Amino acid sequence: MLRLFSPAKINLFLRIVSKRSDGYHNLSSVFQTITLGDTLIIEPSAYDRLTCTDPQLPTDESNLILKATALFRRQTNLKHAFNIHLIKRIPTQAGLGGGSSNAATMLWACNQLAKTNLPLHILKQWGATIGSDVPFFFSEGTAYCTGKGESVQPLSALASRSLWIVKPPEALSTPEVYRRLGFDSSAQLSTPSDLEAFLSGSLPLFNDLEVPAFDIYPQLKKLKATLIESGFETVLMSGSGSAFFCIGQGSLPSNLSVTSFPVQFMRRGTYDWYSDGLIE
Ligand code: C5P
């Protein structure tokens, strides 16, 4: 039996660079894992079965966890199957990468439980076929991602920060947010200076997907303004939203109808998966 932590991610900045001929978008973004996460409890079984603490979440083969197990079987020609229980804490349709993190965690678990000892770059490559954010989770938790997100340049640890994740009730669909962006294919390519500027602290943090997300739900723009007025130094939507992260000395107003989580940056050890530090 394996009990694995599956962390959420935030995008410390997110630039949409161009629209690709395959319909996806090239991006430039620093991804960071945080201490908010799900738990997967996995044991070998005669067939795949997924249960989840959140009754709203589909537990059929559309769930990225079961896609990951099916992919592992296909790629290895092995017959291993698993009984998986998912303790869901990461809000969905929030831009926090919960589904992608679960898929990466499941690929790691398959590799452990089937004792296949595959190198991570193989799992990462397979993960990219499940979702653009999956490869990032095979970094150690901090990375500069380009292309669709699958080109992952690992970064060393950033200065530790405490922050709040704020999730409003509005749920955003990633394809819809990208569609609303209305990017044409003529935009300029590649902005390698983003990373240098970010690391030197001179890049103002921004997320190009805020504009289309605020277009879909104008109340998100109001929420961002309220959070800034509450004293936070940085308030930024993560990924395609609708969750925000808030950094700085502010305090959350008590009258907001949002779910909030105090979190910190987290990383994994080179040879270990992410851990919430709880003893099994
Ligand atoms: O790769 P993933 O399945 O997570 O992407 C979901 C959707 O988000 C894609 O179908 C696409 O519409 C959009 N997307 C994009 N460019 C990216 C990542 C996602 O346009 N780099």
Query: What is the C-alpha separation between 7 and 98, in angstroms, rounded?
Result: 7
Q: Ligand 1 atom 12: the closest Cα is on which residue? A: 175
Of the listed 9, 88, 124, 167, which one is catalytic?
A: 9
Residue 184 phi, psi (nearest 5) = -95, 175
- Tokens coding 138: 């095979």
Q: Structure pTM?
A: 0.96
Best residue for ligand 1 mutational test, from 11, 20, 25, 146 (most atoms within 8 Å of Cβ)? 25
| Confidence (pLDDT) at 280 | 41
Alpha-carbon torsion, ordered 59, 62, 91, 144, to 10 deg: 140
| Confidence (pLDDT) at 65 | 98
| Nearest ligand 1 atom, CA 179 | 12
Q: How many residues does the chain have?
A: 280
Alpha-carbon torsion, ordered 97, 239, 35, 55, to 10 deg: -40
Report, as ranges of residue numbers, the positions in the chain whose pLDDT lies below 70: 185-192, 277-280
Q: Ligand 1 atom 19: the closest Cα is on which residue? A: 24
| Confidence (pLDDT) at 190 | 53
> Under a CB-based contact definition with an 8 Å cutoff, are residues 44 and 214 in contact?
no
| Confidence (pLDDT) at 193 | 87
Q: Ligand 1 atom 13: the closest Cα is on which residue? A: 175
| Confidence (pLDDT) at 161 | 86
Alpha-carbon torsion, ordered 75, 81, 87, 93, to 10 deg: 40
| Confidence (pLDDT) at 25 | 94
| Confidence (pLDDT) at 186 | 54
- 22 flagged as catalytic: no
